[in-house]
């Protein structure tokens, strides 16, 4: 069968594929420990669920404004003002079906064929695919593990060409687990600022999952007057409130950009699920939920620290300490090319390594290839301590000489 050529430039999302593989093995009765899922293992807070149930029972089952109800947009505006120090109006906000949809619409709205998009590597798997689907060309700038994967202003400057149209920044970052401090963001901003035609797409979905003394900030908050017309601020409820399945994302930016995204969305998906709109208001305005957000954050911090220490103790592994999100992205270079597992056969790169680990010791890892690093693997620590400990025991067993 013949399909559109645009499908030839992308592959399936590797993160979702690993989740599916692990789920399939579980259905066969195999006890898989999955470090694949990039989603909180906690349940959505009860009051958020109740508001959606009430809305459903009250008959909130019809079309809504494409960009979101006035109440949901107002709640987002207030959250952006209070938490992010960003002064947007409701017309400068659009609600979409998850962070993924928000980012995709933004790229479809601004990119033309051949436009270059600068992506710090390691990058989240879907960025290059989205850029390519929108006709753009991903330009990778490689962060070094010795620098916690953070790119430098010099590297950024060297990647800019007359065709550069967008720079994507994700802090805290998936998969690197690193977080840019406001002064590091400010140094990158100085490089972008003179190039008036470059948009900054700031993916802030892990903003509340930040560890220890680490700080970060919204890109546009570096200097709102300077950045408000050039920044696309993307966020979602998925990670902060354990709502990955709800599919709620939002974007804030200049009115013409939001209008353009609204136009696209109105022809594609219309509004997000109607009875989820009041859940946005509940999540973003009920301050008692802060306790639950903090409970999840501190659990991720403890698990991340534990996983990082154990990974670094494995000969041949080298892992940057996570300062945000819920991923450990470890180098496995020292374990490649040497005897592994029962068969003692070596693995050459991360895809092969992960396949062997899943087959032989039933631990699901995500190979780093689609994040731009074929000698790294990603482990999500959004799973219980018990699972983390069990999975790492198995991994150590697989690596024992």
* Binding interface with ligand GLU (CB under 6 A): 13, 15-16, 38-39, 100, 125-126, 174
Q: By CB under 6 A, how many residues form the interface with ligand PMP? A: 13
Strands 249-252 and 93-96: antiparallel
| For ligand GLU, the closer CB: 173 or 265 | 173
Binding site partner of 399, from ligand GLU, ligand PMP, none, Cβ cut-off 5-8 A by kind: none
Out of 238, 251, 262, 271, point to the residue binding ligand PMP (CB under 6 A): 238
Strand 164-170 relative to strand 327-331: parallel, antiparallel, unpaired?
unpaired
Q: Cβ of 34: how many Cβ atoms within 10 Å?
A: 25
Q: Record the tokens describing residue 162, joined without a space.
A: 């007359």
SS3 call for 226: helix
Exactly one of 249, 253, 278, 324 binds ligand PMP (CB under 6 A); which one? Answer: 249
The partner in contact with residue 249, picked from ligand PMP, ligand GLU, none with C-beta cut-offs of 5 to 8 angstroms by kind, is: ligand PMP
CB nearer to ligand GLU: pick between 13 and 286 = 13
How far apart are the C-alpha atoms of 14 and 378, rounded to whole Å?
Answer: 11
Decide which of ligand GLU, ligand PMP, none touches 13; Cβ closer than 5 to 8 Å per partner kind: ligand GLU
Task: Give the DSSP per-residue string, 339-389.
Answer: -BTTTTB---SHHHHHHHHHHHH-EE-EEGGGGT-TTEEEEE--S-HHHHH
Interface segment toward ligand PMP; rule CB under 6 A; list 97-105, 145-153, 286-294, 369-377 = 97-105
Cα(93)–Cα(95) distance, rounded to whole angstroms?
7
The CB-of-12 to ligand PMP minimum distance in angstroms stands at 15
- Residue 100 as a binder of ligand PMP (CB under 6 A): the answer is yes
> Does position 122 bind ligand PMP by CB under 6 A?
no
* Contact set for ligand PMP, span 26-45 (CB under 6 A): 38
**Among ligand GLU, ligand PMP, none, residue 203 binds (CB under 5-8 Å by kind):** ligand PMP
Q: How far is the CB of 342 from ligand GLU (least distance, A)?
A: 29
CB of 250 to ligand GLU, least distance (A): 16
What's the CA gap between 332 and 94, in Å, rounded?
Answer: 41
Q: How far is the CB of 241 from ligand GLU (least distance, A)?
A: 15
324 binds ligand PMP (CB under 6 A): no
- Least distance between ligand GLU and beta carbon 174 (Å): 5
Span near ligand PMP by CB under 6 A; candidates 78-86, 211-219, 236-244, 257-265: 236-244
Q: Which residues contact 281 (CB under 8 A, 6 or more apart)?
A: 51, 71, 72, 75
Q: How many of the other CB atoms lie within 10 Å of CB of 239?
A: 25
The length of the chain in residues reads 401
Identify which of 276, 272, 262 has the alpha carbon closest to the alpha carbon of residue 105: 262
Provide CB contacts within 8 A for 300, sequence distance 6+: 40, 209, 211, 326, 381, 382
What does 368 bind: ligand PMP, ligand GLU, none (CB cut-off 5 to 8 Å by kind)?
A: none
| Residue 341 interacting with ligand PMP (CB under 6 A) | no
CB of 299 to ligand GLU, least distance (A): 18
* 35, 104, 124, 167: which one binds ligand PMP (CB under 6 A): 124
User: Is residue 166 reached through a cis peptide bond, with omega within 30 degrees of 0 on the bond before it?
Assistant: no
Which CB atom, from 43 or from 190, has the smaller least distance to ligand PMP? 43
User: Interface with ligand PMP includes 170 (CB under 6 A)?
Assistant: yes
Label the pairing between strands 137-142 and 116-121. Answer: parallel
Q: 278, 286, 285, 281: which is closest to 61 by C-alpha?
A: 278
Q: Between the CA of residue 196 and those of 86, 110, 200, what are the distances in Å?
A: 21, 14, 11
Q: Contact residues for ligand PMP (CB under 6 A)?
A: 38, 98-100, 124, 170, 174, 203, 205, 236, 238, 244, 249
């Amino acid at each position: 069968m013949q399909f559109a050529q645009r499908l030839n430039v992308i592959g399936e999302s590797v993160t979702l594929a690993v989740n599916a593989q692990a789920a399939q093995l579980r259905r066969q009765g195999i006890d898989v420990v999955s470090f694949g899922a990039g989603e909180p293992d906690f349940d959505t807070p009860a009051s958020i669920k109740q508001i959606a149930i009430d809305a459903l029972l009250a008959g909130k089952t019809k079309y809504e404004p494409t960009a979101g109800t006035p109440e949901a947009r107002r709640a987002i505006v207030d959250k952006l003002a209070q938490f992010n120090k960003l002064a947007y109006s409701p017309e400068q906000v659009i609600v979409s079906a998850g962070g993924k949809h928000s980012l995709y619409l933004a790229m479809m709205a601004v990119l033309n064929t051949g436009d270059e998009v600068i992506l710090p590597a390691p990058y989240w798997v879907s960025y290059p695919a989205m850029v390519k689907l929108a006709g753009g060309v991903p330009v990778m700038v490689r962060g070094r593990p010795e620098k916690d994967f953070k790119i430098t202003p010099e590297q950024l400057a060297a990647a800019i060409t007359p065709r550069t149209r967008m720079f994507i920044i994700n802090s805290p970052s998936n998969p690197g687990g690193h977080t840019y401090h406001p002064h590091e963001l400010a140094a990158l901003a100085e490089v972008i600022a003179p190039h008036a035609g470059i948009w900054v797409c700031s993916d802030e979905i892990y903003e509340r999952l930040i560890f220890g003394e680490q700080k970060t900030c919204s890109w546009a908050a570096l200097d709102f007057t300077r950045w408000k017309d050039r920044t696309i601020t993307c966020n979602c409820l998925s990670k902060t409130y354990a709502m990955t399945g709800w599919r709620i994302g939002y974007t804030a930016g200049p009115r013409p950009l939001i209008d353009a995204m609204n136009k696209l969305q109105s022809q594609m998906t219309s509004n997000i699920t109607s009875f989820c709109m009041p859940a946005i208001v509940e999540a973003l305005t009920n301050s008692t939920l802060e306790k639950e957000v903090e409970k999840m954050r501190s659990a991720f911090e403890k698990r991340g620290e534990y996983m990082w220490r154990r990974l670094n103790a494995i000969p041949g592994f080298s892992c940057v300490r996570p300062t945000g999100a819920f991923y450990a992205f470890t180098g496995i270079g020292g374990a490649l090319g040497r005897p592994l597992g029962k068969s003692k056969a070596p693995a050459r790169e991360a895809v092969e390594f992960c396949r062997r680990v899943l087959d032989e010791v039933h631990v699901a890892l995500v190979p780093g290839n689609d994040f731009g690093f074929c000698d790294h693997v990603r482990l999500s620590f959004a799973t219980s301590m018990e699972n983390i400990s069990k999975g790492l025991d198995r991994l150590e067993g697989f690596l024992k000489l």
